[in-house]
Structure 1
Amino acid sequence: MPTDTRLSRMLHVLIHMDHLAEPVTSDTISRMLDTNPVVVRRTMGSLKAAGYLTSVKGHGGGWTLARSLDELTLRDIHQALGSPKVFAIGLADDNPQCPVERAVNASIEEAMAEAERRLLERFGEVTIGSLSRDVAASREDLSHPIASS
């Protein structure tokens, strides 16, 4: 099962956008992420629908932040991306009548639910603004999203 990197990639983009303080096009973001601009527009669209971004079409247009990064948490972005599964571990379903399979699945499911709850709780405590400040403190120039990635 492939890893879902959308959360980390969007955090990357949002932090660059904050430091640029000007509209960023889907083409620019697609080059930064080495992906297709259509994928960028679809993903950024989910953040726009959540009220975190705005967009302007045409010359001089692009994506801009609609809210301060200090108002946004990792959990906010995770949810805007559709709350993708945080674990790739699956439960066996070969023999659902087997008491051993049911006991194993119940134990794994309980542990994963608790781990996911804790992870999402932690995501809710971390603002993207705090990440942005950590990055800025360790690097001098974040103004160009392609050269600085």
Structure 2
Amino acid sequence: MKRNSRLSSVLHALLHMAEQQGPVTSDALARCLGTNPVVVRRTMGYLREAGIVASDRGHAGGWRIQADLGAISLRQLHEALGEPALFAIGNRNESPDCLVEQTVNAALETAFAEAEALLRQRFSEITLADLAADFARRQAAAPARAELPR
């Protein structure tokens, strides 16, 4: 089953960007994420529309975080990405005639709604600053690694 990893990729990119002194190019982020620069530009465009990042043109240009890390929650990022489905599971048939399947759907829909509400609440409580602090702790405890390529 294919999973949507855009939120994970965005968090990865933003944490790398937070460690840089200046703008980071789409090419550098693409190398870091193992994807194409066009995918990076498209995804960062959503974040720019939400006021989370800004882009600078020209030779020294690139993407930079515009908002305070402590003010950016995972929920805001999820919403900026168009609120992709949180779960890759669902009902077999959305409008069944079978009463058994209607019963199953009702139970699953209730469970999905409760789980989604809980996950959205937790996403509201986690900020980029929280992730950056965890990264800093891990980085301090790990052997030296190469910086993000420019």
Instruction: Indicate the TM-score class for this superposition, using the shorter chain for normalisation.
Output: over 0.9
Residue 14 of structure 2: aligned partner = 14
How far the C-alpha of 1:92 sits from its partner, in A, is 1.7
Residue 81 of structure 2: aligned partner = 81
Counterpart CA distance in 1 for 2:53 and 2:121 is: 23
Residue 147 of structure 2: aligned partner = 144
Residue 108 of structure 1: aligned partner = 108
User: 1:40-74, CA deviations, whole angstroms, 9 ceiling, x for partnerless residues?
Assistant: 00000000000000001110000011111111011
Cα 1:94–1:12 shift into 2, 3 Å: closer
Cα 1:64–1:95 shift into 2, 3 Å: closer
Residue 39 of structure 1: aligned partner = 39
Q: What secondary structure sits across from 2:55 in the alignment?
A: strand
Higher deviation after alignment, 37-46 or 88-97: 88-97
Higher deviation after alignment, 128-137 or 115-124: 128-137
Structure 1, unaligned stretches of length 5 or more?
none
Residue 121 of structure 1: aligned partner = 121
Q: Could you tell me the TM-score, scaled by structure 1's length?
A: 0.92
Aligned Cα RMSD in Å? 1.8
Cα 1:126–1:56 shift into 2, 3 Å: same
Structure 2, unaligned stretches of length 5 or more?
none
Residue 93 of structure 1: aligned partner = 93
How many residues align structurally?
A: 147
Higher relative CO (CA 8 A, sep ≥ 6), structure 1 or 2? 1
Cα 1:77–1:2 shift into 2, 3 Å: same
Higher deviation after alignment, 89-98 or 54-63: 89-98
Q: Could you tell me the TM-score, scaled by structure 2's length?
A: 0.92
How far the C-alpha of 1:96 sits from its partner, in A, is 1.1
Q: What secondary structure sits across from 1:139 in the alignment?
A: helix
Counterpart CA distance in 1 for 2:102 and 2:139 is: 51
How far the C-alpha of 1:28 sits from its partner, in A, is 0.4
Counterpart CA distance in 1 for 2:37 and 2:131 is: 25
Amino acid across the alignment from 1:110: T
Higher deviation after alignment, 10-19 or 114-123: 10-19
Cα 1:30–1:94 shift into 2, 3 Å: closer
